[in-house]
Amino acid sequence: MIGPVVRTSLLNLRRDRSALLLTFVLPVAFFSIFAVIFGTQRREGTPRIHVAIADHDHSRASQRLIAGLQAESSLIVLTAPKQKEKSDAQKPAPFTAETAEAAVRQGDVPVALIIPKGFGESPIAFGPARADQPVIQLLKDSSDPIAPQVVSGLLQKAAMTSMPDVMAEQGTKYVDQFAGGLTSQQRNAMNEQIERLRGELNQQQTGGAGGSTTGTSNSEDAFGGLIAVDSRDVIGETKKNPIVAFYAAAIGVMFLMFSASGAGGVLLEEVESGTLDRVLSSRVNMLTLLAGKLVFLTCVGIAQLTVMFVWGALVFKLELLKHLDGFIIMAVVTALATSALGMVFAAASRSRAQLGAMSTLVILVMSALGGSMFPRFIMPESLQKAGLVTLNAWAIDGFTKIFWRDEPLTHLWPQVAVLLCIALVLFFVARQLVRRWEYS
């Protein structure tokens, strides 16, 4: 009797497309996304980190340090802002301390290095930095906790690989200062070795030689802090709970889509019960009905986001009142886009079970690609670009601009425009899909 039961269950599973999607398609989709994100890191290394460098010293030591950082395949070193238009013949001015900090605040780069004037005179610090020693400033956006650690470690590594002659010269000074000095013969031999080392370095640079590595596991402690670095948060330094400020939108958008898809299922119930036919026999047409449901779902979505963010403000010190106007704008357009998506799910489904399977599959995949499950900055660049097809990415970017970067409302126009376009396109698709009920 066990055989017939198993065979009957297999037949039921084969007929149930919703169960097949959740059983086989969803796991494969999630496996593929995680494999692309984490499986390629061993082969390709971690995603390349953009770092802005402002060189106020313009010495041989600072130029060698920058060249050493440029040789690292894990970094994309920018000494000047990117050109906005390729046709623009005028090159942007090199970064200064002010423009490099602005690049971090605007989210163009997660890390900026400021090389101070006088760095070339005493670049190496064996032990704690002296009070009169120039210190490199590392400006960071703490929403990306990985990038500052990687850049800090590679900065110390670049000091080892790109300035060995400077290290030897500085070491000689420390010997003179703390160990009684060198004899004239020892000093002459040391100077000859330093000059030979400089000649080899110049020959390598002239011939275009120079290696690069993909490892990013080195840290300041591993090199003993050869270069004095002072790290400072320029984003999130005054926020009471920066983690909540960064991730509140990610979770809110994902659950908003689930709620909208579930509420949109009411349309299916009206079709099954015959209520839709009675409504359409009155003065209400299908376009008016869909528009009314879209407005209702949008209001519910706004209320859901409001409750979530108010809870975050009361319990986790989220700065809601300070950014209330920006929150209202993003809440409206996000709720509108997710509501339209929920209506597409309902209009494309023929049963509640099919709606649940389809919405679960699409929402989870969109959330994984769009940054609701883990930050997009840890993804490969190709996957980051792919995530821009999801409304999660645009909504999260908009909320991040408000609550994390404290940007003005005028900077929200790309996110607002895209989300409104998504809402209009999805509403049009839903209108086309429900024609089968209108004329059945």
> Which string of DSSP letters, residue by residue, matches 24-52?
IIHHHHHHHHHIIIIITHHHH-SPPEEEE
Question: Domain extents for the chain?
Answer: 46-235, 239-438
431: nearest Cα among 314, 301, 248, 289? 289
| CA neighbor of 215 nearest in space, from 284, 157, 294, 166 | 157
Helix (H, G, I), strand (E, B) or coil at 130: coil
Measure the CA–CA gap between 398 and 415, rounded to whole angstroms.
Answer: 6
Q: What is the pLDDT of residue 376?
A: 80
pLDDT value at position 219? Answer: 36
**DSSP code at position 417:** H
Cα separation of 300 and 293, whole Å? 10
Contacts of residue 83, defined as CB under 8 A and 6 or more positions apart, other chains included, come to: 91, 92
Query: Kind of pairing, strands 111-115 and 136-141?
Result: antiparallel
pTM over 0.75, yes/no: no
User: Which residues have CB under 8 Å from 423's CB, separation 6+?
Assistant: 333, 336, 337, 339, 340
DSSP 378: G
CA distance 316 to 241: 7
The amino acid at 398: G
Q: How far apart, in whole angstroms, are the C-alpha atoms of residue 76 and residue 65?
A: 14
The whole-angstrom separation of Cα 332 and Cα 325 is 11
Q: pLDDT at position 35, please? A: 63
Give 104-159 pLDDT, tens digit per residue. 888 888 899 999 998 877 777 655 555 667 889 999 887 777 888 888 888 888 87
Say what the pLDDT of residue 361 is.
83
Query: For the chain, which ranges sit under pLDDT 70?
Result: 1, 3-46, 83-89, 125-132, 163-225, 236-243, 245-246, 438-440
Decide if 110 contacts 134 (C-beta within 8 A): no
Distance between CA atoms of residues 143 and 428, nearest Å: 37
**What's the confidence (pLDDT) of residue 298?**
92
Least Cα distance to 380 among 123, 109, 46 occurs for 46
Per the DSSP assignment, residues forming a β-bridge with 75 are 49
Question: What is residue 211's predicted lDDT score, i.e. its pLDDT?
Answer: 39
At residue 334, the pLDDT reads 94
Task: Report CA dihedral (355, 356, 362, 364) to the nearest 10 degrees.
Answer: 170
* 429 contacts: CB under 8 Å, gap ≥ 6: 344, 347
Rounded Cα distance between 96 and 75, Å, is: 19
> What letter does residue 58 receive in the DSSP assignment?
-
Rounded-to-10 torsion of CA 79, 376, 341, 243: -100
Q: What is the pLDDT of residue 245?
A: 64
Write out the DSSP string of 282-293.
Answer: TT--HHHHHHHH
Q: Cα dist. 31→28, 34, 39 in Å?
A: 5, 5, 10
Q: CA 111, 330, 110 angle in degrees (round to 5)? A: 5
The Cα-based distances of 125 to 133, 254, 274, 340 in angstroms read 8, 48, 80, 59
